[in-house]
């Protein structure tokens, strides 16, 4: 019987820096992904811009692209975009500027049309985010030009809507926020 190594935050700190790869740990399993494409980053940035504009108007939180989130020693993620409320943000950063609490909203943009990326985003990361209390999770597919919205139901992040076409991203969590999907592509 083989024993699989469980990676920790300390292991990530000792890895050589390479701007072309992202290193994440999900339940102790190391995941390495290549730098995202132009279309991937455009979708992530446009959502972040829309969230940031809303934050500027309301003062209700912060939004950033590709932050490090340290949930625990065996769980570190680099979501494509996130939103965290002002109340939760107070005291949420470690000495290196990484979030050490779960934000309310995480956005992941699919990178590739392959089974590995889908499993990581739909299964592994969704379970990780649910386990740490992320209230809402958006999965953006720039190839299909759709966004799936998952909300925490007390146990898991469950699909509540699939948006496409002329739809706009909205959520009861962010009163007055709206981002037309056409802006993402």
The per-residue pLDDT for range 141-167, each reduced to its tens digit, is: 999 999 999 999 999 999 999 999 999
**Residues comprising the chain, all counted:** 185
Tell whether the model's pLDDT for residue 2 goes beyond 70.
Answer: no
Q: Is residue 133 part of a domain?
A: yes
Buried-state track 111-131, b at ≥16 Cβ within 10 A, e below 16: beeeeeeeebbbebbbebbbe
What pLDDT digit, counting tens, does each position of 72-92 carry?
A: 999 999 999 999 999 999 999
Question: What is the percentage of the chain residues whose pLDDT exceeds 90?
Answer: 77
- Contact of 132 with 75, CB cutoff 8 Å: yes
Query: What tokens were used for 182?
Result: 């056409």
**How far apart (Å, rounded) are the C-alpha atoms in residues 57 and 45?**
18
Q: Which of 171, 160, 165 lies closest to 184 in space, CA to CA?
A: 165
Range of the domain at 171: 37-184
- Contact of 93 with 87, CB cutoff 8 Å: no
Confidence of residue 1 (pLDDT cuts 50, 70, 90): low
* pLDDT at position 105: 98
Task: For residue 98, give every residue at least 6 positions away whose Cβ sits within 8 Å of its Cβ, in sequence order, or none.
Answer: 67, 68, 69, 70
Q: Is residue 17 part of a domain?
A: no
Tell me the whole-structure pTM to 2 decimals. 0.92
Q: Is residue 15 part of a domain?
A: no
Number of folded domains that form the chain:
1
Q: Is residue 92 part of a domain?
A: yes
What pLDDT digit, counting tens, does each position of 18-62 carry?
A: 888 889 999 999 998 888 899 999 999 999 999 999 999 999 999
Q: Is residue 46 part of a domain?
A: yes
Q: Is residue 50 part of a domain?
A: yes
Q: Is residue 113 part of a domain?
A: yes
CATH of the domain at 103: 3.90.1570.10
Q: Is residue 24 part of a domain?
A: no
């Amino acid at each position: 019987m083989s024993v699989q190594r469980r990676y920790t935050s300390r292991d990530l700190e000792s890895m050589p820096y390479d701007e072309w790869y992202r290193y994440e740990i999900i339940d102790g399993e190391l995941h390495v992904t290549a730098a995202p494409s132009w279309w991937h980053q455009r979708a992530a940035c446009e959502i972040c811009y829309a969230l940031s504009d809303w934050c500027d108007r309301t003062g209700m939180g912060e939004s950033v692209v590709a932050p490090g989130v340290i949930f625990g020693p065996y769980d570190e993620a680099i979501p494509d975009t996130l939103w965290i409320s002002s109340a939760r943000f107070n005291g949420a950063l470690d000495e290196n500027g990484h979030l050490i609490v779960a934000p309310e909203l995480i956005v992941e943009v699919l990178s590739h049309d392959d089974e590995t990326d889908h499993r990581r985003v739909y299964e592994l990361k969704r379970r990780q985010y649910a386990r740490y209390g992320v209230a809402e999770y958006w999965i953006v597919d720039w190839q299909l030009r759709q966004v799936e919205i998952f909300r925490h139901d007390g146990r898991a992040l469950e699909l509540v809507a699939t948006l496409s076409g002329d739809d706009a991203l909205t959520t009861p969590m962010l009163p007055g926020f709206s981002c037309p999907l056409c802006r993402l592509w």
